[in-house]
Amino acid sequence: MLFPFTACKGGSGGNVEKVAYDAKAVAAKYNLPEIPEADKNLKVQMGYNDCDHMVGAIIGEKAGIYKALGLNVTVTKTNNTNIAQAMTTGKMHVGYMGIEGALNARSEGAPIIMAAANHLGGSSYLVVANDIKDPKDLVGKKLAITANPENNPQWIKWATKLGLPIEKDNYEIIKMSQKDCPMALKSGKISAFSCCDPFASQCEYQGLGKVVAVGWGGLIDETKKEHDHKHGWGMCCIYAMNENFKKEHPEVAQRLLVAHAMSLKYLYDHPYNAAMMFADGFGTAPEVGLMTIYMKTIAEGRTLTWEFNQENIDNFVKQYDEYKIDKKFRPRTDKLNEFVNLNFVKESGIESFSDFTKEDKIDEKFPIGISFKDWLKKAKEIDGIDNKVGNDIKIPEIYKKQK
């Protein structure tokens, strides 16, 4: 018998629907060692970056996965810098964060390791104001983008594609948090900004601005089969862990890794509810949550995963050579070998990502390339959801372009 995960609509329950999901039953499939008595009341501190790439952290909490695994996890939305600092001091044990920040922190002596992958792709967006008719009109305007665009692979790709000058002297670059950018765009304080979701989809859905470019993170090896996440993609975000914590609490660390995999599995198996969890977690509209999860699981392919291999790491590093990025703006890779753990996932008894997608028939239910309308219809059918949420969404054409 399946025991439904229950969350009331409205009020404090937000938009999450009742679905037949038993986290304890899923967790029971893994052969996990008992948590030692001394660790049963251990309070795990988890951080995640203010970005859709880290949606697994929210799902683990809201779907009852941490609790089902006997974990007492406090989840905090913050940023890469704060996560790195907190993991350095031991105040934070695990975090969803960008690989660049984690690598740099490791190089500076932080006991951070890459316990698992999280996002091989890592979609990012360039959003412009509605009065920008041609991307070239951005020259001379206020942009909330990276402070050193000529040393940022993603900006170089965008600028080249859009026919824009790369150098920062052609723009007035200002520093602004992603969450503040949509309203700044609407008010005319800025003419464009770069971001991850939900901020791009928010602009599109609410008519605050429009996406003119999408980046996929890392250097995608075009010689590989399309959607081949094992070989063709780079690396964006990771599931980082404090190395000392892993050594001192191995049973808890293993369960945290399983929780990470279960959270991503939930994302693919129950995308509608995952979108609602994301929307509630970020305080955004349900429709924006749906647009975000469609991008994560369909338009971008299956790049949210717990698996990675050496080729993904190599592709990540290659992009800096490809675009001749100045060394001082590159992530520090001198501690790469001790930072990367290619075996932790397998040692934790977690199935391969491909085995999961085959067993749960993800490609059959949600094939790559499925339209948003059909994806949403199927997502609702799977969990017996009967509502009109998202039925009026029109996905921007640029969202449908894979690379």
Buried b (16+ CB within 10 A) or exposed e, 295-334: bbbbbbbbbbbbbbeebbbebbbbbbeebebeeeebbbbe
Both structure tokens of 218: 């890392």
370-382 tens-digit pLDDT: 999 999 999 999 9
Grouping H, G, I as helix, E, B as strand and the rest as coil, residue 19 is strand
Q: With a cut of 80, say whether residue 220 has pLDDT above it.
A: no
Grouping H, G, I as helix, E, B as strand and the rest as coil, residue 305 is coil
Single residue among 348, 364, 380 that ends a domain in this structure: 364
Which residues on adjacent β-strands are paired with residue 72?
43
| C-alpha to C-alpha distance for 168 and 102, rounded to whole angstroms | 26
pLDDT averaged over every residue in the chain: 90
82: Cβ contacts below 8 Å, ≥ 6 apart: 47
Task: Check whether residue 271 and residue 171 sit in a common domain.
Answer: no
Task: Check whether residue 257 and residue 269 sit in a common domain.
Answer: yes
Task: Check whether residue 75 and residue 129 sit in a common domain.
Answer: no
Q: pTM, whole model, 2 decimals?
A: 0.92
Which residues on adjacent β-strands are paired with residue 142?
172
324-351 tens-digit pLDDT: 999 999 999 999 889 998 888 888 999 9
Q: Tell me if 220 is assigned to some domain.
A: no
Task: Check whether residue 111 and residue 189 sit in a common domain.
Answer: no
151: Cβ contacts below 8 Å, ≥ 6 apart: 325, 326, 329
Domain residues for 73? 41-120+234-283+301-364
Q: With a cut of 60, say whether residue 211 has pLDDT above it.
A: yes
Task: Check whether residue 82 and residue 140 sit in a common domain.
Answer: no
Buried b (16+ CB within 10 A) or exposed e, 3-35: eebebeeeeeebbbbbbebebeebbeebebeeb
Order of strands across the sheet that contains 237-242: 72-78, 43-49, 94-98, 237-242, 112-119
Q: Tell me if 147 is assigned to some domain.
A: yes
146: Cβ contacts below 8 Å, ≥ 6 apart: 152, 155, 173, 194
Task: Check whether residue 138 and residue 159 sit in a common domain.
Answer: yes
Torsion, Cα of 358, 67, 256, 62 (10° steps): 70
Position 300 scores a pLDDT of: 84
* Cβ 265 vs Cβ 354: under 8 Å: no
Q: Tell me if 65 is assigned to some domain.
A: yes
Task: Check whether residue 114 and residue 45 sit in a common domain.
Answer: yes
CATH number of domain containing 161: 3.40.190.10
Q: Tell me if 201 is assigned to some domain.
A: yes
| C-alpha to C-alpha distance for 48 and 56, rounded to whole angstroms | 9
Task: Check whether residue 244 and residue 354 sit in a common domain.
Answer: yes
Give the chain's domain count: 2
Task: Check whether residue 279 and residue 355 sit in a common domain.
Answer: yes
Burial (0-12, 13-18, 19+ Cβ within 10 Å), 186? middle
Q: Tell me if 345 is assigned to some domain.
A: yes
Task: Check whether residue 331 and residue 251 sit in a common domain.
Answer: yes
Task: Check whether residue 176 and residue 316 sit in a common domain.
Answer: no
125-184 tens-digit pLDDT: 999 999 999 999 999 999 999 999 999 999 999 999 999 999 999 999 999 999 999 999
* Cβ 149 vs Cβ 199: under 8 Å: no
Q: Is the peptide bond before 135 cis (omega within 30 degrees of 0)?
A: no
Task: Check whether residue 266 and residue 330 sit in a common domain.
Answer: yes
Q: Tell me if 208 is assigned to some domain.
A: yes
Position 326 scores a pLDDT of: 92
Q: Tell me if 243 is assigned to some domain.
A: yes
| C-alpha to C-alpha distance for 188 and 183, rounded to whole angstroms | 9
DSSP assignment of 91-124 equals: S--EEEEEHHHHHHHHHTT--EEEEEEEESS--E
Q: Tell me if 161 is assigned to some domain.
A: yes
